Amino acid sequence: MKALLHFLGILVLGSFSTKFLPAQVHPKTIALEMRLKNLAKSSNGVGRVIQIGVSRSGAPILAMEIARNKTEKRARPAALLVAGLDGRRHDDLDVALEVAKSFLSAKPSSPKGKILKTWTIWVVPSANPDGSLANVEGNLGPVDEDRDGRMDEDGPEDIDGDGQILWMRKKDPEGTYIQDSKTGLMRPADPKKGEAGIFKLWREGLDNDSDGDFNEDPKGGIIPNRNFPQLFPEHEKGAGPYVLSEPESLSLVDFVVKNPRIRFVITLGAMDNLNNQPKKNTATKKQPINGYYPGDIRVLRQFTKAIGRKGGGRPDEWKGRFHSWVYAHAGRISIAINLGRKRDLHVKNRSRSRPSSQPSRKNISGKKAPPRKSEDPGKGKPKFPQWKPFNHPQLGPIEIGGKDPLKHCKLSPQEKKEGVPLITKLLLTGSEEACRLKIVKLETKELGKGVLEVRAVVRNQGTFPSRTAVADRLGNPRLPRLEFVRLSGENPQNARRWGKREAQASLLTGKPFVFIPSRLISGQTAAFKWIIKKPKPGTVGLRITQEGIVFDIKEVK
């Protein structure tokens, strides 16, 4: 009887189980997988859910693979969209899912549908599932922040039950904080300006370990987006004991390395190299790369222009970040974008002089007109919960309020709405402007006695070069090459490149393959010539390939 009940229980649970989930998993993780699987199920075979790794707790890190003409997907280029590395940025996850949904539901004749016939798009909506569940930047790996031998025992808490974890302040002669008169925000007092602190300030919560400090050892763990090899911030908070020590960061690196067809990567998060100024490389060849090469900055500016951003602010952060690893180690185009940044965030200062055609701000009586609504002194101040009194069980009478510490991780409804077409535009731009090498001319000339002279002209019909400027230093990705292949069957994708014996038997001058210059851009061409023994019809071809991508293939007649 017990065995029967056990078997029935397995059947019931099995009807709700999913392919990738471990024995114990959070319901929100189940909901995300079911949401992805439902999208794939309704896509008529365009979408497929795959697992690219696991989190520290064992939760699956999932990706949506989007492509049409699946039989040829191995020979096509790919793009990768990653969100959720920072577990606090739930809105980025939603945007990534909506982008995936828009491509899955695209008509074959639409721009998105046409791209999917020749490209594969991978979308990783939650690269840090454990952090997302706990609403923290890290992955909940135990870290002893206050070095007291205990892990994560004293973190922020919602002690007043309002659904938010804000700030606590208490008037104290030893306080070092004041409330700014202009912004209303709490800030350290500046003695040089004659300011004296009147408040002590803490994150909302209790002193759980009774050490006199509040919330100094919170849950959070190691931050996956500080754990990547490029300029790894060793010994800095949250970076981890060594590079790729965390399963989340290792999973992403492993996925990119195993899929060299990836041409560009878009990372949603706090970093931004489109709205901000791309960091210029100043390192020598013997030093780690610390910024973008000039040729790659030009490519990034084309993406900036495509989405109507201004560009120009402070350089983006590189230490241990995923987007910097993608560029400096994998050699791919790497786009980091913060959807919370306004398009007009960095606008050149306008001249103070008023054009003569603009009416004066004085009225008919000569008196200064009242300020426009946009210039009202009170407008523009940050809105945050007002300070409210609360009787703290350890501190006594205090006030709770202030700016939400996670406000910078959230998107407004308008920003989320605009984020979907913006990311879609980046994906379309990257695929439409990408290098497209074609054999535009293939001529043969009989030299007699069964000998042919073969001439081929290759043109880049895209805008971007075949690989990044930094790849010339890294050797990754490899250069595209034009190679002789043995044709077999009706499908040219099944062609195999010449082996050593075939090359020795057929080639009289030249090599069985040649590398195509990496800096061919926008219509530029390169010519090649060989002398070979005349082949039988339908047996020999020339193919352009790079990292598994087949750009073009033509028969040598």
- Where do the domains of the chain lie, and which CATH numbers do they carry? 20-135+223-340+412-432 (3.40.630.10), 148-219+379-410 (no CATH), 437-555 (2.60.40)
- Residue 127 near residue 65 (C-beta atoms within 8 A): no
Q: Does position 14 have pLDDT exceeding 70, yes or no?
A: no
Average pLDDT, the chain: 84
Q: Does position 542 have pLDDT exceeding 50, yes or no?
A: yes
Nearest alpha carbon to residue 419 among 93, 110, 63:
93
How many H helices and E strands in the chain?
Answer: 11, 21
Q: Does position 38 have pLDDT exceeding 70, yes or no?
A: yes
pLDDT tens, residue by residue, 472-530? 999 999 999 999 999 987 666 678 999 999 999 999 999 999 999 988 888 899 999 99
Determine if the pTM surpasses 0.95.
no
pLDDT tens, residue by residue, 154-193? 568 888 888 888 889 999 999 999 999 888 889 999 999 9
Q: What is the DSSP string of 32-78?
A: HHHHHHHHHHTTTTSEEEEEEEE-TTS-EEEEEEE-SSGGGGGGS-E
Q: Give, as one character, the DSSP assignment of residue 165.
A: -
User: What confidence tier does 77 reach under pLDDT thresholds 50, 70, 90?
Assistant: very high
pLDDT given at position 340? 87
> Which of 238-242, 347-351, 393-397, 424-428 has the least mean pLDDT?
347-351
Average pLDDT over residues 314-337: 94
Which 3-state string (H, E, C) describes 376-428?
A: CCCCCCCCCCCCEEEEECCCEEEEEECCCCCHHHCCCHHHHHHHHHHHHHHHH
Contacts of residue 441, defined as CB under 8 A and 6 or more positions apart, other chains included, come to 455, 456, 457
User: What confidence tier does 346 reach under pLDDT thresholds 50, 70, 90?
Assistant: very low
Which range has highest mean pLDDT (154-168, 197-211, 261-275)? 261-275
Average pLDDT over residues 351-360: 36
pLDDT given at position 389? 93
pLDDT tens, residue by residue, 81-111? 999 999 999 999 999 999 999 999 999 999 9
Q: Where are the alpha helices (DSSP H) in 175-321?
A: 247-258, 294-306
